[in-house]
Amino acid sequence: MLDTPAQLNSLYDRVRNVIPPIEWPAFTSDIESILELKEKRDAVILAHNYQTPEIFHCVADIVGDSLALARKAMEVEAGTIVLAGVHFMAETAKLLNPEKTVLIPDTRAGCSLAESITPADVRLMRERYPGVPIVTYVNTSAAVKAESDICCTSGNARAVVESLGVPRVIMIPDEYLAQNIAKETDVEIIAWKGHCEVHELFTADDIRELREAHSGVTVLAHPECPPDVVAEADFSGSTAAMSNFVETKAPGRVVLLTECSMSDNIAAAHPEVEFMRPCNLCPHMKRITLSNIRDALEQDRYEVILDPATADRARVAVERMLAV
Ligand code: 13P
Ligand code: SF4
């Protein structure tokens, strides 16, 4: 429990650059309850980089991109994990921690990429391209992972593809990620037709207009963006790689072509950097709020339950990725 105003003030210091003082009181009661409940319940909160600043900076224990969350999920000692992110991330945490309770505060927090492919589709791809390994983006259900040879994230996709030592791979379900990685490697890539509904909205024209309007702006694009957008950007990488770019290169003016909270979370710690728009909101990530995190901890909901046989097969694909 935060028993002194000083403790609450020090939490506010983390977000004062992105949350106006008038809005802060709306968060404090939930933040206090969550911090108290975490201790009482022996729980940790894992939060993706797209979570809002009051979650990311004030109640999360572990933050990062999909790869970091998967890796760090394996090191958790607490009995309960609350995943502040989308459903496939909670499933990955559960795969890696079958004996722990994993909670997702809103079961509707899905993903257009995960929705774009079914286990039957993957079996069909295997039939159509016999012997070609299937590399599956983590943004998929456990049932789809179970049909796959190995997983990847945006942070390790090229390394995973090249680790297989074959001339051709199937890479599902993100068509744009597959096309962007194909440009970086000699391995031939057969893609699926899934898209991220957030990143597919950015256009190369957005970037050209931005450069005209704001001289010297550095443009970072997530590899889920269409290939012509990535080609027009100055840098492309996972959300962690984008964050690292801003930390190390310290651009004066930057635009992150990705989910909006990403800029807010970095801006909270870097008032000296000017973050420009556009950005797009992910409606699935935005399902997670302080109040449903509090409810998750208070009422033990919603527990991620996986079919054990599916989970065993999906775990192999995730563990192979983590070994690369
Ligand atoms: P990363 O954080 O792994 O780059 O993933 C982005 C994303 O869209 C997750 O939903
Ligand atoms: Fe899925 Fe895109 Fe939202 Fe990430 S940002 S959860 S890839 S819809």
CATH (domain of 255): 3.40.50.10800
Same domain, residue pair 173 and 208? no
Tell me the residue type at 134: I
Residue 94 Cα to ligand 2 midpoint, Å, equals: 19
Residue whose CA is at the smallest distance from ligand 2 atom 7: 196
Residue 261 Cα to ligand 2 midpoint, Å, equals: 13
Asked if residue 194 is part of any domain, the answer here is: no
pLDDT in tens, the chain (324 residues): 555 788 899 999 999 999 999 999 999 999 999 999 999 999 999 999 999 999 999 999 999 999 999 999 999 999 999 999 999 999 999 999 999 999 999 999 999 999 999 999 999 999 999 999 999 999 999 999 999 999 999 999 999 999 999 999 999 999 999 999 999 999 999 999 999 999 999 999 999 999 999 999 999 999 999 999 999 999 999 999 999 999 999 999 999 999 999 999 999 999 999 999 899 999 999 999 999 999 999 999 999 999 999 999 999 999 999 999
Looking at the whole model, is its pTM more than 0.95? yes
- Please tell me the predicted confidence (pLDDT) of residue 321: 98
Asked if residue 148 is part of any domain, the answer here is: yes
115 Cβ closer than 6 Å to some ligand 2 atom:
no
- Please tell me the predicted confidence (pLDDT) of residue 5: 82
Residue 8 Cα to ligand 1 midpoint, Å, equals: 30
CB neighbours of 307 closer than 8 A, spacing ≥ 6? none
Question: CA 11 to CA 13: how far, in whole Å?
Answer: 5
44 Cβ closer than 6 Å to some ligand 2 atom:
no
Residue whose CA is at the smallest distance from ligand 1 atom 3: 66
What are the tokens at 139? 């943004």
108 C-beta neighbours (distance < 10 Å), count: 11
Residue 49 Cα to ligand 2 midpoint, Å, equals: 12
271 C-beta neighbours (distance < 10 Å), count: 10
Residue whose CA is at the smallest distance from ligand 2 atom 2: 196
Residue 312 Cα to ligand 2 midpoint, Å, equals: 25
Same domain, residue pair 271 and 292? no
User: Are residues 86 and 59 in contact, defined by beta-carbon separation less than 8 angstroms?
Assistant: no
For a mutational test of ligand 2's pocket, the pick from 199, 202, 257, i.e. the residue with the most ligand atoms closer than 8 A to its C-beta, is 199
Question: CA 62 to CA 103: how far, in whole Å?
Answer: 15
Structural domains in the chain (count)? 3
Asked if residue 311 is part of any domain, the answer here is: no
Last residue of a domain, one of 166, 189, 212: 189
Question: CA 237 to CA 256: how far, in whole Å?
Answer: 10
Asked if residue 269 is part of any domain, the answer here is: yes
Asked if residue 306 is part of any domain, the answer here is: no
Torsion of CA 258, 89, 64, 287, to 10 degrees: 60
Same domain, residue pair 267 and 295? no
Residue 113 Cα to ligand 2 midpoint, Å, equals: 7
Residue whose CA is at the smallest distance from ligand 2 atom 8: 111
In ligand 1, the atom with minimum distance to the C-alpha of 48 is 2
284 Cβ closer than 6 Å to some ligand 2 atom:
yes
DSSP string, 195-216: --TTGGG--HHHHHHHHHHSTT
Same domain, residue pair 19 and 50? yes
Residue whose CA is at the smallest distance from ligand 2 atom 1: 111
In ligand 1, the atom with minimum distance to the C-alpha of 49 is 2
In ligand 2, the atom with minimum distance to the C-alpha of 196 is 2
Range of the domain at 185: 120-189
User: Are residues 262 and 49 in contact, defined by beta-carbon separation less than 8 angstroms?
Assistant: yes
- Please tell me the predicted confidence (pLDDT) of residue 6: 87
Asked if residue 309 is part of any domain, the answer here is: no
- Please tell me the predicted confidence (pLDDT) of residue 3: 57
Handedness of CA 60, 66, 67, 73 (dihedral sign): positive
Strands 188-191 and 168-172: parallel
Asked if residue 45 is part of any domain, the answer here is: yes
Asked if residue 322 is part of any domain, the answer here is: no
Same domain, residue pair 136 and 81? no
User: Are residues 69 and 92 in contact, defined by beta-carbon separation less than 8 angstroms?
Assistant: yes
